[in-house]
């Protein structure tokens, strides 16, 4: 009984690998170039690069923390 379960599992894995192998893939070099270009085009509006103005930051502490 376990042999048939094992065989069924192996057949499922082989079928999945066949499906994955037959998929058309995008070349990485084109994707990387597109990603770099996107980052360069949008760097002015990226808050991780430009930062957030203190006046428009809703998470800025109103007071400083004082320890006694």
- The string of pLDDT tens digits covering residues 7-47 is 889 999 999 999 999 988 777 677 888 888 988 998 888 87
Across the chain, mean pLDDT equals 81
Q: For residue 31, give the H/E element and its range.
A: helix 28-41
Using 50, 70 and 90 to split pLDDT, how confident is the model at 68?
A: low
Using 50, 70 and 90 to split pLDDT, how confident is the model at 52?
A: confident
| 51 has a pLDDT exceeding 60 | yes
Structural tokens at position 67: 């320890």
Q: Is there a contact between 43 and 49 (Cβ–Cβ < 8 Å)?
A: yes
Q: How far is CA 50 from the centre of its chain?
A: 21
Q: How far is CA 55 from the centre of its chain?
A: 31
Q: What is the pLDDT of residue 11?
A: 93
Q: What is the pLDDT of residue 65?
A: 67
């Amino acid at each position: 009984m376990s042999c048939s379960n094992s065989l069924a599992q192996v057949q499922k894995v082989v079928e999945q690998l066949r499906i994955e192998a037959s998929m058309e893939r995008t070349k990485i070099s084109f994707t990387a170039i597109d990603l770099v270009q996107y980052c360069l085009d949008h760097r002015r509006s990226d808050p991780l690069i430009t930062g957030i103005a203190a006046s428009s930051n809703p998470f800025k502490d109103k007071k400083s923390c004082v320890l006694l």
